[in-house]
Structure 1
C-alpha cells in the first residue's frame, strides 16, 4: 500500500497526525506529564514519517528498520535533553510501528487451519518485529558505546 497511490502527500500528513494522536492517547494511559506529553507522541509521528519517506525503497522491512532507527535516535536525544529514560520515549514512539495486524492475521490463519498463509504471514510479522528490535538495538548500543568512550576521554583513564 503505497501512500502516493492513495491521495499523495495529504494522506501521508494525516497518517503522521494519526500516529501522533494514537501515541498521545497512550501517553495519557501511561500517565505522562509535562513536556514529555508532547515530545513522546512526536517521536511516533516522526518514526512513521520516516517510514513513509522510505516507501520508494520497495522493501517494507527496510522501511520499518529505517523508521525505527530514526525514532530510536529521536528517543535517545529527547531522553538526554529532558533528563529522562529513553525507554519511555521508545515505548510510546514504537506503538505505530508494531505489526498488530500481522499478529492478528497470523493467529487467524493458524486457528482456521490455513497453514500456508499462517507461515507466510507469521514470517513476515517476525521480520517486521526483528527489524524493529534491530533498529532499537543498534541505536541503543551506539549510544552506550559513545557514553563509555566519552567517559574514558573525560577522565583520561580506563574505567572498570
Structure 2
C-alpha cells in the first residue's frame, strides 16, 4: 500500500512538469494525488466498486484543490488536474481496446462501460466539490454582508 501511495505522489508531480505549472506548488500537487488515492483505496476496500471509489477520491481531490487554491491564491485547476491523474482508469481503457482487437466484444463492452462510468464519477466528484465550495463561499459572504 505504501508503494501505491508513493507512486500516486509521483503520478501527480509529473503532470505539473508537463503542464508547466509553477514549480513552487509541486509538493502540494503531489499531496493532492496522495489524498485522492488514499481515499480511493479506503472506499474500494469497503465497496469493491471502482466507480464509487473514484467518485470519493476525486471529491477529496476537489476539496483539497479548493482549499489549497484559497491558501496559495492560485486557480484550483492547478491542483485538481494533476491530482486526478492517479485516479484515471488507464488500464481499464487499455483492456477495452485490447478486447476489441481480440474481437472479444462482450468483455470490451464490460470494460468500456466501466471506463466511462469511472471517468464520469471522476468528473462528477470534481464538479460537486467545486460547486459545494462556491455555494458555501456565497453563504459566508452573504452572512458577512448582513452583519
Do both share a fold (TM > 0.5)?
Answer: yes
Alignment partner, residue 135 of structure 1 = 125
Q: Using CA pairs below 8 Å that are at least 6 residues apart, which structure has the higher relative contact order? A: 2
Shift of 1:79: 0.7
- SS of the residue 1:35 aligns to: helix
Conservation of the 8 A alpha-carbon contact between 2:21 and 2:78: no
**CA–CA distance in structure 2, aligned partners of residues 57 and 14 of structure 1:** 22
Partner Cα separation in structure 2 for residue 56 and residue 149 of structure 1? 34
**Correspondence for 1:39:** 28
1:79 aligns with 2:79: no
**Greater Cα radius of gyration, structure 1 or 2:** 1
Q: SS at 1:84's partner residue?
A: coil
The 5 A counterparts of 1:9-28 are 12-28=1-17
2:52–2:121: 8 Å Cα contact kept in structure 1?
yes
More helix by share: 2
1:57 paired residue number? 47
CA distance in 2, matches of 1:138, 1:44: 18
Where structure 2 has 5 or more consecutive residues not aligned to the other structure, the ranges are none
Runs of 4+, deviation exceeding 6 Å: none
1:89 to 71, 79, 83: 79
- 1:89-124 residue CA offsets vs partner (Å, 9 max, x unmatched): 000000000001111121222233221011101111
Residue correspondences, number? 146
